[in-house]
Amino acid sequence: MNKFLNRIASCWALVRPETFGIANSLPTPSRRYNAARRSRNPIGWGTFLCLIAATIQFGRFTMLAHEPTRLAHEAALDPRERHTLAKVRNLAVATSTSSLAEDACQLTIRLLDNGTKKPLPGLVRITQAEGRALPLPGLVSRGTKLRNNHPAKDWFALPEASKIPVPRARLTIEAFSGLETEVTRKTVDLSGQSSAQVDVPLKSFFSAANIGWFSGNTHLHLSGLTREQADEYLRILPRADRLDLVFVSYLERAKADRDYISNGYTLADLQRLGGPGLLFGNGEEHRHNFEGFGEGYGHVMFLNIRQLVRPVSIGVGITGEGPDWPPLRRGIAQARGDGATVIWCHNTFGHEDVPDWLAGLLHAHNIFDGGAHGSYEDSFYRYLNLGLKLPFSTGTDWFIYDFSRVYARLEQALTVPNWLQALAAGRTFISNGPLLEFHAGKSQSGDTLRLSSPTNLAVFGRAKGRHNFNKLELVHNGKVVHAAASRAVDGHFEAAIDFNLEINEPSWLALRVPGGSMDSSGAVVVPPTTPVRGSGEAKNEMGEALFAHTSPTYIELGGKGIFRKEAAEELLADMESALKTIPMKAKFAEDAQREEVLKIYRDGIEMLRTRLGEN
Q: What are the CB-based long-range contacts (under 8 Å, 24+) for 570-577?
A: 570/382, 571/354, 571/358, 571/382, 571/383, 571/386, 571/608, 572/605, 572/608, 572/609, 572/612, 574/351, 574/354, 575/351, 575/354, 575/355, 575/601, 575/604, 575/605, 575/608, 576/601, 576/605
The whole-number pLDDT of residue 466 equals 97
Q: Are 382 and 365 in contact (CB under 8 A)?
A: no
Please indicate whether residue 26 or residue 582 has the higher confidence score (pLDDT).
582
| CA quadruple 347, 349, 355, 356: dihedral sign | negative
Secondary structure (3-state) at 278? strand
**pLDDT of 501 strictly over 70:** yes
Distances (CA, A) of 231 to 70, 127, 238, 264, 272: 19, 29, 11, 11, 10
- pLDDT tens profile 104-139: 999 999 999 999 999 999 999 999 999 999 999 999
> Once rounded to an integer, what is the mean pLDDT over residues 54-66?
36
pLDDT over 90, % of the chain: 75
**pLDDT number for residue 14:** 35
Q: Taking 80 as the threshold, does the pLDDT of residue 55 lie above it? A: no
Residue 372 has pLDDT above 90, yes or no: no
| C-alpha–C-alpha distance, residues 107 and 610, integer Å | 69
Closest CA relative to residue 329, chosen from 339, 314, 316? 314
The backbone torsions φ and ψ at residue 447, rounded to the nearest 5 degrees and listed phi first, read -80, 155
Residue 79: its pLDDT value, please? 85
Phi-psi region of 317 (alpha: psi -120 to 50; beta: other; left: phi over 0): alpha
Q: Which of 369, 368, 366, 305 is nearest to 331 (CA)?
A: 305
67 pLDDT higher than 70: no
Report yes or no: 270 and 305 within 8 Å, Cβ to Cβ: no
Separation of alpha carbons 67 and 233, rounded Å: 20
- 206 vs 463: CA distance, rounded Å: 10
**Candidate from 41-45, 393-397, 459-463 with smallest mean pLDDT:** 41-45
Whether 582 has a pLDDT exceeding 50, the answer reads yes
pLDDT over 50 (residue 13): no
Confidence of residue 5 (pLDDT cuts 50, 70, 90): very low
Task: Give yes or no for residue 459 having a pLDDT over 70.
Answer: yes
Q: Which fold has domain 433-562?
A: Immunoglobulin-like (2.60.40)
Among 60-74, 266-280, 523-537, which range has the highest average pLDDT? 266-280
457-466, 471-480, 516-525: which has the minimum mean pLDDT? 516-525
Task: Please say if the pLDDT value at position 492 is more than 90.
Answer: yes
Establish whether the linkage from the previous residue to 454 is cis, with ω within 30° of 0.
no
pLDDT at position 370, please?
76
Q: In what order do the strands lie in the sheet with 170-176?
A: 156-158, 122-127, 170-176, 184-189
pLDDT tens for residues 215-265? Answer: 999 999 999 999 999 999 999 999 999 999 999 999 999 999 999 999 999
**Which positions ≥6 away from 230 have C-beta within 8 Å?**
222, 261, 262
Q: What is the pLDDT of residue 433?
A: 96
Range in 45-49, 204-208, 376-380 the model is least confident about: 45-49
Say whether 433-562 and 95-202 share the same fold: yes
Cβ atoms of residues 282 and 304 within 8 Å: yes
pLDDT band at 101 (very low <50, low <70, confident <90, very high): low
Q: What pLDDT does 68 receive?
A: 59
pLDDT band at 53 (very low <50, low <70, confident <90, very high): very low
**Model confidence at 206: pLDDT above 80:** yes
Eight-class DSSP state of 416: H
| CATH class of the domain comprising 95-202 | mainly beta
Q: Over the chain, what is the mean pLDDT?
A: 86
pLDDT of residue 373: 58
Domain boundaries defined on the chain: 2-75, 95-202, 433-562, 565-614
DSSP 138: T
- Residue 119, φ and ψ in degrees, nearest 5: -65, 145
Specify the pTM.
Answer: 0.88
| pLDDT tops 50 at residue 61 | no
What are the angstrom distances between the C-alpha of 17 and each of 146, 209, 401, 525?
21, 43, 22, 11
For residue 147, the model assigns a pLDDT of 87
pLDDT band at 612 (very low <50, low <70, confident <90, very high): very high
Evaluate whether 88 touches 150 at the Cβ level (below 8 Å): no
| Under 8 Å between Cβ of 424 and 393 | no
Residues listed for the chain: 615
